[in-house]
Structure 1
């Protein structure tokens, strides 16, 4: 893959069907993503909220005119750290038939570059603790394990 083969851009509403399929194929995520037509309006509503936000951006990577990957980048201003800005990379997904081709690395490079451009003091990313391959991938990309997190899910 050459850099010119992959185009990273802001997501558009017309990308939603491809994005939903991308999220749906994540067998480990357990996020309840589905291409069921009754759920589509939930995705449209969320897309518009993200798209209109000054602090959240949803990106896709296109290859050959198809969406092959996606990630979301959020910006969190904290009082701690003298008002520093943190970039939070979320929901990094590469289509299963495209993994191992360097696409994920390009997504991370783009996200880190955008976080620096926005003036972030750091960028962070989380992953499921049972995904050792993902951890190794992030470490190869220059991230280091730092904090252990916890979650509380609501139904």
Structure 2
């Protein structure tokens, strides 16, 4: 069991891209997003990283333990007209390295993200999770999230 008191959460840096790609690639069974550690895919990850870095509303974070990336998530602040111009914080791409799961890494990342939303004046934190991820659903409910909407997507 790792001592996650030594876990730090910080904005991702360009040097973290290979570790992030490895995290996403290790989730291809449930995630199915086609992520890979293949060197030829690196330019796609680098371009995405640059777009995220350039956005004033997006932040990509890593959880670091003993100098290694062991988790990640991304936040996006969205201002909408409903709710009198409410700001919501959307959390995406939550991943914890397999050998670190069940040790509190995910909880620390989510509590950090929630606090970032609070500081940004968000009225709600929103996330989606694949219907296949029943363990993740239990985790999010334990943290106080409520399943409130049906999600839809259209692949382009």
Is residue 147 of structure 1 aligned with residue 144 of structure 2? no
Deviations 1:55-95 (A, max 9, x none): 00000000000000000000111011110000000010000
Q: Residue 95 of structure 1 is aligned with which of 94, 97, 106?
A: 97
Question: Does 2:26 correspond to 1:17?
Answer: no
SS in 1 for 2:125: strand
Deviation readout 1:77-114 (Å, 9 max, x if unpaired): 10111100000000100000100001000000000000
The CA deviation at 1:36 is 1.2
Task: Give the paired residue count.
Answer: 154
Secondary structure, in 3 states, of the residue corresponding to 2:73? Answer: strand
* Equivalent position of 2:45 in the other structure: 43
Cα distance in 2 for partners of 1:129, 1:35 equals: 25
5+ long unaligned stretches in structure 2: none
Structure 1 stretches of at least 4 aligned residues deviating more than 6 Å after TM superposition: none
Distance 1:14 1:39 in 2: 15
The reply on whether 1:76 has 2:78 as its aligned counterpart is yes
> Paired residue for 1:112, among 111, 114, 117?
114
Q: TM-score, normalised by structure 2?
A: 0.96
| Alpha-carbon shift at residue 4 of structure 1 (Å) | 3.2
> TM-score normalized by structure 1?
0.97
Q: 1 CA distance for matches of 2:25 and 2:3?
A: 28
- Indicate the SS of the match to 2:35: coil
Residue-by-residue CA offset, 1:116-148 (whole Å, 9 max, x unaligned): 000001001110112111111000011011001
Please provide the CA RMSD for this pair.
Answer: 0.9
Which runs of 5 or more structure 1 residues have no equivalent in the other structure? none
Per-residue CA deviation, residues 20-77 of structure 1 (Å, 9 max, x unaligned), is: 0000000210111111111110110110110111100000000000000000000111
Alpha-carbon distance in structure 2 between the residues aligned to 1:46 and 1:128: 22
